[in-house]
Amino acid sequence: MQTFEQLLKQFEESFSNKHFPETPSTLYDPAQYILSLGGKRIRPVCVLLGNELFDTINPDSFHAATAVELFHNFSLIHDDIMDKAPLRRGMQTVHAKYGEPTALLAGDVMFVQAYIYLSKMKPEALQKVLPLFNKTAREVCEGQQLDMDFEAKEQVSFDEYLHMITLKTSVLLAGSLQLGAILGGATLGNQQYLYEFGKNLGIAFQIQDDYLDAFGDPAKFGKQVGGDILANKKTFLLIHALETANATQKQQLTELLKTNPADKVERVLSVFKEVAVDEWAMQLKNGYLEKAMKHLDDIAVISKRKEPLKELAQFLMKREY
């Protein structure tokens, strides 16, 4: 078995080549730009981890991993446009650097390029993984739309938000692992356990992301801290704060959601701390992490083969960026 770092190195070597033609450069340079910003490459490496959990790595797993990473970056380009985000990985977002029309097209062509890589797989392998890839891609888009819909809603329940982030964030992590498991010859039962591991780990990851957006160190986080607050996003933090705040605190939050004072982030964070939403979020994250690890334990392979996935979970939960 190989570690996450070893598989990451292998993936980076295969992914380092340019993925687009030279012309028109006004289209392909922006697409290549976001890939040049790096990133943790968690999802494509999950494809490789899912494969090696059951068998030696199938060469088609690198095609699937590349497709996953391209799809993920497509979703980030469009997500940043919708969120009006100025920074991604500490650098200008694609739309901030090149303009929204070009960013939209760059995201679109990246999605197309993902399918080009899938088409390089052996036909029998493609037949097995394509339905899952399509289902996952559709669900991510559904989750993004729900996220946008929630900005216009006055109230969003915990369950509604959980459903949204499961689609927007968790299914891609879970689907990446299952794609690898399929290519590794896993049984359907083991595939489902691994999918549930990824799904619950993805939820814990999103809780951590919500937390870092509010309470993270800007120098480490790589994105605008407080961006969710400025965008009035109904995050785990805001939903819980509204549910637990007293009348005065709830009125403060309600007014801040309707206005954009210069000190909006600071005032919202003040209420968050008053109701101890930061402590609650960490407890919630740990609960989903425990669920994830239970599903990993249920997979019918020897424990030693699971070590890289346990290391991945620990890495994701300790992240500060």
Q: What is the pLDDT of residues 87-108, one digit of tens each?
A: 898 899 999 999 999 999 999 9
pLDDT of residue 220: 64
CA-CA-CA-CA torsion sign (276, 277, 280, 286): negative
Instruction: Find the range with the poorest average confidence among 73-82, 221-230, 237-246.
Output: 221-230
Give the rounded percent of residues in the chain with a pLDDT score beyond 90: 84
CA of 200: how far to CAs of 60, 165, 194, 287, 319, in Å?
Answer: 26, 11, 10, 9, 17
Q: Which amino acid is at 69?
A: E
pLDDT of residue 39: 87
Q: Is the pLDDT of residue 278 over 80?
A: yes
Radius of gyration of the chain measured on its C-alpha atoms: 20
Instruction: Find the range with the poorest average confidence among 7-21, 96-110, 223-237.
Output: 223-237
Q: Which amino acid is at 294?
A: K
CA-CA-CA-CA torsion sign (104, 110, 113, 115): negative
Q: Which regions of the chain does DSSP assign to beta strands (E)? A: 87-88, 91-92
Which of 138, 111, 130 is CA-nearest to residue 60?
Answer: 130
Give the rounded percent of residues in the chain with a pLDDT score beyond 70: 97
Q: Is the pLDDT of residue 281 over 70?
A: yes
pLDDT of residue 85: 87
b/e 39-48 (16+ beta carbons within 10 angstroms → b):
bebbbbbbbb
Confidence band for 319, pLDDT divided at 50, 70 and 90? low
Q: What is the mean pLDDT of the chain?
A: 94
How many domains does the chain contain in total?
A: 1
Q: Is the pLDDT of residue 17 over 70?
A: yes
Q: 274 or 226: which carries more pLDDT confidence?
A: 274
CATH number, domain containing residue 295? 1.10.600.10
Alpha-carbon distance of 228 to 207, in angstroms, equals 13
CB atoms within 10 A of CB 17: 7
pLDDT of residue 223: 59
Alpha-carbon distance of 237 to 241, in angstroms, equals 6
pLDDT of residue 244: 95
pLDDT of residue 154: 82
Q: 71 or 258: which carries more pLDDT confidence?
A: 71
Domain that holds residue 49: 4-318
Instruction: Kindly report, residue by residue over 128-165, the tens digit of the pLDDT.
Output: 999 999 999 999 999 999 988 987 888 899 999 999 99
Confidence band for 125, pLDDT divided at 50, 70 and 90? very high
Mean pLDDT throughout 192-196? 98
Q: Which amino acid is at 15?
A: F
CA-CA-CA-CA torsion sign (165, 170, 172, 173): positive
